[in-house]
């Protein structure tokens, strides 16, 4: 029986959460495979869109991937939003909001959300976010157990505070910690 390998990666802005190019129209897009010499069969557990950053777990074990993507595992995100988020918006995020998924209206499951009182200590992003001349921004922590396509971005927009920057900081008990953007490390398990 082959020995499986597991990795923790800090996905940079501008990368697709895949290892092989499956589309001919996106030839110029950067892939996770460009960040390290990973063994054949390595896959990302879940995805972050091209404009999102942060924690991605990688594995060669499909069973582990399925387990971590289940609704029993929390995923925590830090979102920098346009404007000073309100307590009403936070409450809506906690209770669940209506978003569109595959042209259908979907109400998100209740989750955890709160405003971050200090700007998180994150690496500078490759593409600059607009500056303060365009109005205030604020940071919110959102913890989910589901993962619909662009869900956090859709949720913050639904409550009137579009996401400007999105960073996943935790999956279950695994945290991003001190890994810099583009860095990864091999671990024995998750």
Q: Find all residues with CB under 8 Å of 93, minimum gap 6, and list them.
A: 111, 113, 140, 142, 155, 156, 159
**Contact status, residue 174 vs residue 55, Cβ threshold 8 Å:** yes
Q: Find all residues with CB under 8 Å of 114, minimum gap 6, and list them.
A: 90, 140, 141
For the chain, what are the domain ranges?
Answer: 6-70+174-187, 75-171
Chain centroid to CA 44: 12
Domain 6-70+174-187 and domain 75-171, same fold? Reply is: yes
**Contact status, residue 10 vs residue 53, Cβ threshold 8 Å:** yes
The greatest distance separating any two alpha carbons of the chain, rounded to the nearest whole angstrom, comes to: 58
Segment 68-90, tens digit of pLDDT: 888 889 999 999 999 999 999 99
Segment 18-76, tens digit of pLDDT: 888 766 666 688 999 999 999 999 999 989 999 999 999 999 998 888 888 888 899 99
Catalytic residue (choose from 37, 49, 61, 82): 49
Question: Residue 134: which pLDDT band, with cuts at 50, 70 and 90?
Answer: confident
Please confirm, yes or no, whether 49 is among the known catalytic residues.
yes
- Decide yes or no: CATH 3.30.70.1560 for domain 75-171: yes
**Ranges of H-type helices in 76-176:** 87-95, 151-158
pLDDT above 90 as % of the chain: 68
Is residue 170 over pLDDT 80? yes
Strand partners, 79: 140, 166
Q: Determine the CATH number of domain 6-70+174-187.
A: 3.30.70.580
Q: Which H or E run includes 62?
A: helix 62-68
> Which region among 37-51, 124-138, 167-181 has the lowest average model confidence (pLDDT)?
124-138
């Amino acid at each position: 029986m082959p020995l499986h390998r597991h990795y923790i990666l800090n996905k940079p802005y501008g990368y697709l959460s895949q290892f092989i190019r499956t589309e001919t129209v996106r030839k110029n897009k950067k892939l996770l495979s460009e960040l390290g010499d990973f063994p054949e069969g390595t896959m990302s557990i879940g995805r972050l869109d091209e404009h999102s950053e942060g924690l991605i777990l990688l594995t060669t074990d499909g069973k582990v991937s399925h387990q971590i993507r289940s609704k029993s595992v929390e995923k925590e995100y830090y979102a920098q939003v346009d404007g000073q988020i309100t307590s009403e918006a936070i409450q809506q995020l906690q209770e669940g909001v209506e978003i569109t998924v595959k042209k259908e209206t979907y109400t998100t499951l209740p989750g955890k959300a709160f405003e971050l009182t200090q700007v998180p200590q994150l690496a500078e992003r490759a593409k600059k976010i607009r500056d303060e001349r365009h109005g205030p921004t604020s940071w919110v922590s959102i913890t989910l157990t589901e993962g619909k396509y662009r869900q956090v971005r859709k949720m913050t927009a639904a409550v009137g505070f579009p996401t400007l920057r999105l960073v996943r900081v935790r999956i279950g008990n695994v945290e991003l910690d001190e890994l810099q953007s583009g860095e990864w490390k091999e671990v024995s398990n998750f």
